[in-house]
Amino acid sequence: MSSWPKVVARKWLNIQSGADEFHSDYAIKGKTERRKSCSDDDYYVFVREDFPGWLKGAPNGHKQSAIMPEAPPVTDTVNLKMFVGTWNVGGKSPHKGLNLKDWLKSPAPADIYVLGFQEIVPLNAGNVLGAEDNGPAAKWLSLIRQALNRNKTAQELLQNYSGATSPQADQQPCPKPRLSFSDLLSLEDELGYEEFRRLSSLQSNNEEDSASPPSTSGSPMQRRYCLAASKQMVGIFLCVWVRADLYKHISNLKVSCVGRGIMGYLGNKGSISISMTLHQTTFCFVCTHLTSGEKEGDEIRRNSDVTEILKKTRFSHSYKDPTQELPPESILEHDMIFWLGDLNYRLVNGYGDTHELLKRNDWQALLEKDQLRIEQRAGRIFKGWEEGRIYFAPTYKYITNSDHYVVQTSKSKEKRRTPAWCDRILWKGEGLKQMCYIRGESKFSDHRPVNSLFSVQVNLANKTKPRSITSRSCPSKVSTNSALTSTCVAKVQAEELLVFPRPQSYMDKTHSL
């Protein structure tokens, strides 16, 4: 209890330990610390260091696997599939058997999965003001890892690896097929390393020219999908998973958090942003939980949240070579941007005929009342951003473990809420094409999860001019009361977490150092 005031003070003054840290399966050259608490397997905690091409080679001294995917032909661009999903889980920690397949399903396998959560912990005073509870995040990471890496059953893969199952007397054994790289990884992940080695050794005993599958234990190449980065701020949680063979093409991975909750800066509401470069294309993923409420004028507060997140999100980089192109420092500087989360925009005009329109599944009539679309058409927010056509029912607010909205029954003890499309995915940038935009049907929380699949055109060669370093540097002489000074000082004070203007006494102390 004696440390609790210190925790609160650090949150209010934005003095956070581990401000530059995020979780990943990979180790960066530089300062790293190995932990065991935020995944079912090892991961690394990173501090901010700028190492272009930081994912070159195998981490932690492990040798590269001899089984490598064939190198693609040299071209200027490559098309990848990116899955983007968002889910407000209502403060509930997942149970071990929770099935994520409904949420993570897509028309085609994705190369990258971007998954954002809201309310992974209850938004009570203890979680908002106290130490961060990362237990639920560890459970979500474990479930996601299992869901992405276990697309085929062990029995199916073992049959493929063994050749055939118990041929009849008049049948010839089927020849052993050539397993794909991803199948081998999935088989090892499903059976466990020791069992995988044992079975593969038995298979090769009678084959003079055979060898056991190479050891990849402990390496990110052990799995089909690996965690590139994850970050938590109170109840907001964002994680990015990449296909195992893409990891060496990722660089400039950074995180930035902006609190927009209590008093306008605590982390019960706000955003987590992850910036990365894949080949020569820059990506930014922004997971948000905006101001709630359906009173008149609440949409203005949500608009303000978006504006402040765009203004205060910063990715700090330090470069020794001024001739090199600077990675993006703000959200809008990226080539491709995805904004996902519980945006909390509601339907205008109260209850009215909402119930009747719901009974008729008349989504288009209901969407005419959607605040986000109204505000966007008026040019007040998300100007130039895109969102796919919505052909699914409102995602909020359901009675727990039910297919019924709270508004549909007077017996519900839940607070009366008008159904709305609170959970959304927007995007901005060239070379993006949305392939689907759907919702899942899990009854785990009072929100339904939403996902979208994109075709993403990634540049393999740098076709742009280096950005000017001086154009984004902080001026040396500005007033201590200016917002710009607060931003510059925040860069020194690890601005990635909960950015907000410092008290004047704190600013004076900082400038006197």
Are 306 and 384 a contacting pair, CB within 8 Å? no
Q: Please give the helix or strand (H or E) that residue 113 lies within, else none.
A: strand 112-118
> What Cα–Cα distance (Å) separates residue 389 from each residue in 103, 148, 401?
19, 27, 27
Are 112 and 78 a contacting pair, CB within 8 Å? no
CA distance 250 to 204: 36
pLDDT of 423: 98
Of 298, 406, 295, 402, nearest to 358 by C-alpha is 406
Tokens in use for 85?
């999903």
Tokens in use for 73?
């032909």
Of 501, 20, 10, 502, nearest to 257 by C-alpha is 20
Q: What does residue 324 show for φ and ψ, rounded to 5 degrees?
A: -80, 150
- Gap between the terminal Cα atoms of the chain: 32
Helices 135-149 and 181-191, packing angle to 10 deg: 130
pLDDT of 12: 55
Tokens in use for 390?
């919505």
Helix (H, G, I), strand (E, B) or coil at 374: helix
What confidence tens digit (pLDDT) does each residue in 49-107 have?
443 333 333 444 444 444 455 555 556 899 999 999 999 999 999 998 898 988 998 88
CA distance 375 to 395: 19
pLDDT of 474: 42
Q: Which residues of the chain have pLDDT under 70?
A: 1-20, 26-75, 151-223, 319-324, 350-352, 408-416, 463-513
pLDDT of 48: 39
Of 190, 154, 160, nearest to 177 by C-alpha is 160
CA distance 337 to 285: 6
Specify the pairing of strand 77-88 against strand 450-459: antiparallel
CA distance 226 to 220: 6
- State pTM to two decimals: 0.71
Of 60, 71, 26, nearest to 46 by C-alpha is 26
Of 34, 62, 30, nearest to 48 by C-alpha is 30
Strands (E), 127-280: 225-233, 236-243, 250-259, 270-278
Tokens in use for 401?
């473990």
Of 230, 252, 216, nearest to 37 by C-alpha is 230
